[in-house]
């Protein structure tokens, strides 16, 4: 009995110490209600389920102390206003994709996707352990935002076309929805890129306002029904060999949380980052089978010579941006150093002399 009392007293003293050294006990008990806005239609498979899953994880892990309400694109703010709204503190969090901000922050593209760039596995390793996330946080810090990886779509498809692509000239005057550096590459090939949000794409393709659309991959594209308004589904997604999504958190809102809730947010983004990628890996192939076998979609490869030229144009676009923007050049150096190192390892099985 005496031992039990001693243990209880010891625990009481330890808890007292933790309270004294840690956060304000009142803050530990406080409940927080946050708003999370997104660039996607609410509950859209993959893109939309990522923030839903995040909010569920945070609520469960915090025992209800942090309740995050998720809003779809257009419910509170337009799809592509996520960065500026969360930066201003009008919502505590957002879920979107970093390359949407390339006009203001050219280097942001590295934190979503680069044409002919890294795979999902490689990109995640660079972000978490190769210095990528630190650079991303450095880029967003002046905007009062903290970014976290928020899922990866895996390799995307090349897009929906109503005319076949037989040469690079087929991109001339092509009106296509294609964001990020891929859009800049299309521009260099003579095309006319736009970045309409998801909800407007089907109608734009149907009406002829757009000649071609790339959105994500089979899992998301099937849900939008693009197969009803386009004949050909092209691969590979040269412009997005894998695409990281982002969570952004307003710095002031984050700083106002106790340390345990901050850690819960950080770790919940990691859970969602991996689970979302798993979801795409499983459902992309199922959806591609449905598109090809049930809807009769013609799945077509870009010709090799077209891909080779697109790769040359991509290098040109990236070199130009590196000359114009110091931070872009800094991130490019980190990205390429990591990518080349990883590629070397990937090639050892094929050619062990690479280590000599």
User: What does the binding site for Ca ion look like in residue numbers (CB under 5 A)?
Assistant: 156, 240
Nearest Cα to 325, choosing from 109, 174, 178?
109
In the 8-state DSSP scheme, what is residue 303?
Answer: P
Q: Which is nearer to Ca ion, 91 or 108 (CB)?
A: 108
How many angstroms separate the CA atoms of 305 and 354, rounded?
Answer: 28
Q: Which is nearer to Ca ion, 72 or 180 (CB)?
A: 180
User: Cβ 214 to Ca ion, closest distance in Å?
Assistant: 5
- Asked if 92 contacts 58 with a C-beta cutoff of 8 angstroms, the reply is no
Could you tell me the CA-to-CA distances from 90 to 34, 101, 249, 301, 339 in Å, in that order?
A: 10, 18, 11, 44, 37
Q: Which tokens is 48 given?
A: 């939309």
Q: Which is nearer to Ca ion, 41 or 258 (CB)?
A: 41
Burial of 74 (0-12, 13-18, 19+ CB in 10 A): middle
User: Cβ 252 to Ca ion, closest distance in Å?
Assistant: 32
Residue 182's contacts (CB-CB under 8 Å, 6 or more residues apart) are 113, 115, 193, 214, 238, 239, 240
User: Cβ 176 to Ca ion, closest distance in Å?
Assistant: 11
Q: Which is nearer to Ca ion, 152 or 156 (CB)?
A: 156
Angle at 226 between CA 223 and CA 229, to 5 degrees: 145
Q: Helix (H, G, I), strand (E, B), or coil: what is residue 193? A: strand
User: Cβ 93 to Ca ion, closest distance in Å?
Assistant: 22
Q: Bridge-partner residues for 94, per DSSP?
A: 37, 248
The length of the chain in residues reads 356
Q: Which is nearer to Ca ion, 156 or 269 (CB)?
A: 156
User: Cβ 226 to Ca ion, closest distance in Å?
Assistant: 12
Nearest Cα to 61, choosing from 288, 307, 266?
266
| H-helix or E-strand spanning residue 33 | strand 32-38
Q: Which is nearer to Ca ion, 53 or 239 (CB)?
A: 239
User: Cβ 240 to Ca ion, closest distance in Å?
Assistant: 5
Q: Which is nearer to Ca ion, 97 or 253 (CB)?
A: 97
User: Cβ 156 to Ca ion, closest distance in Å?
Assistant: 5
């Amino acid at each position: 009995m005496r031992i039990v009392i001693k243990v209880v007293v010891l625990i009481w003293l330890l808890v007292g110490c933790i309270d004294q050294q840690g956060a304000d006990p009142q803050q530990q008990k406080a409940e927080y209600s946050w708003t999370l806005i997104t660039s996607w239609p609410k509950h859209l498979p993959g893109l939309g389920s990522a923030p839903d899953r995040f909010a569920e994880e945070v609520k469960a892990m915090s025992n209800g102390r942090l309740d995050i309400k998720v809003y779809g694109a257009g419910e509170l703010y337009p799809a592509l206003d996520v960065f500026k709204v969360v930066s201003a503190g009008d919502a505590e969090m957002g879920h979107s994709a970093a390359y949407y901000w390339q006009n203001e922050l050219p280097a942001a593209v590295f934190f979503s996707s680069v044409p002919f760039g890294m795979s999902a596995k490689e990109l995640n390793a660079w972000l978490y352990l190769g210095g990528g996330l630190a650079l991303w946080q450095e880029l967003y810090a002046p905007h009062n935002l903290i970014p976290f990886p928020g899922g990866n779509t895996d390799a995307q498809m090349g897009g929906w076309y109503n005319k076949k692509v037989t040469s690079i000239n087929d991109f001339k005057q092509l009106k296509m929805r294609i964001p990020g550096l891929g859009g800049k590459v299309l521009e260099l090939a003579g095309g006319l890129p736009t970045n309409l949000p998801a909800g407007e794409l089907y109608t734009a393709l149907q009406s002829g306002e757009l000649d071609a659309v790339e959105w994500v991959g089979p899992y998301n594209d099937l849900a939008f029904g693009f197969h009803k308004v386009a004949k050909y589904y092209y691969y590979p997604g040269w412009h997005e060999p894998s695409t990281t999504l982002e969570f952004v958190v307003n710095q002031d809102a984050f700083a106002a949380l106790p340390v345990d809730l901050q850690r819960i947010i950080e770790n919940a983004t990691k859970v969602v980052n991996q689970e979302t990628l798993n979801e795409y890996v499983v459902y992309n192939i199922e959806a591609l089978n449905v598109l090809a076998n049930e809807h009769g979609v013609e799945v077509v490869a870009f010709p090799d010579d077209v891909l080779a030229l697109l790769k040359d144009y991509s290098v040109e676009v990236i070199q130009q941006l590196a000359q114009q923007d110091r931070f872009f050049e800094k991130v490019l150096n980190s990205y390429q150093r990591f990518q080349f190192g990883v590629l070397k390892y990937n090639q050892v099985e094929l050619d062990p002399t690479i280590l000599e």
